Amino acid sequence: MTSKFRHVALIGKYQTSSSSSFGDSSRQALEDIAFFLEQQGCAVSLETETASNTGLAQYPSLNVDDIGNQCDLGLVVGGDGTMLGIGRRLARFGTPLIGINQGRLGFITDIPFDTYQTTLPPMLHGEYEEDLRPLMHATVVRDDRVVFEALAMNDVVVNRGATSGMVELRVEVDGRFVSNQRADGLIIASPTGSTAYSLSAGGPMLHPSIPGWVLVPIAPHTLSNRPIVLSDATEVAVEVVSGRDVSANFDMQSLASLLHGDRILVKRSEHCVRFLHPQGWNYFATLRKKLRWNEGGS
């Protein structure tokens, strides 16, 4: 039976900057997966940094744009951070992604490494669940000029510096004033990001099918300032009113230093990340395993 995905890109430890971070086991894992994919009838390429960091020179290497233009599938080996990094960059190409987790089970890299040989073949032949996750598009506006922009899959976070006091933030939704918030910061999280920083700050978990965002204050000065769920069709504006060393983080990857009067505008991106899960994938089963909930039930 011919694989539905003829050309597969392997991506591993995408944010790694030196080969020393790749242990022998990680290199061997990628090599084993590449060989396995070839046995399934797939042509295999390695993402450029992955190839460089592992030293696996027997496969063609492609940059992210080439992967988007040439490959039918991206197979990400690592954790959720690895998937976030490559997912943002491949979203505009519509390239589907499968995640294999070498460590603890991830929310979005959900196939344990020791099961890939039985899990992947049906998926490669078209038996999978597709899961679309919209991205957030954020811009920083200063004096009516865009000075920074980024995509985020998890969250956009505006917060204070490590040694400074509270910040004051003016929040608007679709141009309507919501509140001035005095807190350590504010998180705007997608359903994907609702199980990340937002959750640790007291926000609710949003099912991935919900077209919404959650605004979560970080250590608010006023205890009645609670998380609120919004439609992701809205535009959220956060203006820095006061505070020192204020910054904006996008999936904790990008960082912009902010000045008083800067506005962070967040809206839904036109692009979605396409995740593929094994057939029968269950979001609640992932929550039970990842959050160590009671395993009762099926």
Query: What's the rounded mean pLDDT across residues 224-230?
Result: 95
Select the more confidently predicted residue: 25 or 138: 138
What is the four-CA torsion angle of 273, 279, 285, 287, rounded to 10 degrees? -10
Worst-scoring range by mean pLDDT, 169-173, 228-232, 260-264, 278-282? 278-282
State how far the alpha carbon of 90 is from the alpha carbons of 27, 84, 86, 96, 153, in Å.
23, 10, 6, 9, 12
Query: What is d(CA 210, CA 204) in angstroms, rounded to the nearest whole number?
Result: 12
**Is residue 12's pLDDT more than 60?**
yes
**Is residue 14's pLDDT more than 90?**
no
Select the more confidently predicted residue: 103 or 179: 179
**Is residue 17's pLDDT more than 70?**
no
Instruction: For residue 6, give every residue at least 6 positions away whose Cβ sits within 8 Å of its Cβ, in sequence order, or none.
Output: 41, 42, 43, 72
26: alpha, beta or left? (left if phi > 0; alpha if psi -120 to 50): alpha
- C-alpha angle with apex 218: 215 to 224, nearest 5 degrees? 75
pLDDT (tens digit, 9 = 90+) per residue, 153-190? 999 999 988 777 899 999 999 999 999 999 999 999 99
Query: What's the rounded mean pLDDT across residues 44-50?
Result: 95
Residue 25: predicted pLDDT? 75
Q: Using alpha carbons, select from 157, 172, 180, 162 the residue that is nearest to residue 241.
A: 180
Query: What is d(CA 82, CA 206) in angstroms, rounded to the nearest whole number?
Result: 22
Residue 23 pLDDT level (bands cut at 50, 70, 90): low
Q: Tokens 């290199």 correspond to what residue?
A: 27
Q: What are the start-end ranges of the H helices in the chain? A: 24-39, 48-54, 64-70, 80-90, 116-124, 197-200, 283-291
Instruction: Describe the strand order of the beta sheet including 185-189 as a list of residue ranges.
Output: 228-231, 212-218, 185-189, 155-159, 247-250, 254-257
Residue 1: predicted pLDDT? 57
**Is residue 20's pLDDT more than 70?**
no
Number of residues that make up the chain:
298
Can you spell out the DSSP letters for 161-194? -TTS--EEEEEEETTEEEEEEEESEEEEE-TTGG
Pair 217, 186: CB distance under 8 Å: yes
Average per-residue pLDDT in the chain? 91
Active-site residue set:
80
Instruction: Go through the domains of the chain in sequence order and give each one's CATH number.
Output: 7-127+279-291 (3.40.50.10330), 135-270 (2.60.200.30)
Worst-scoring range by mean pLDDT, 38-42, 52-56, 73-77, 93-97? 52-56
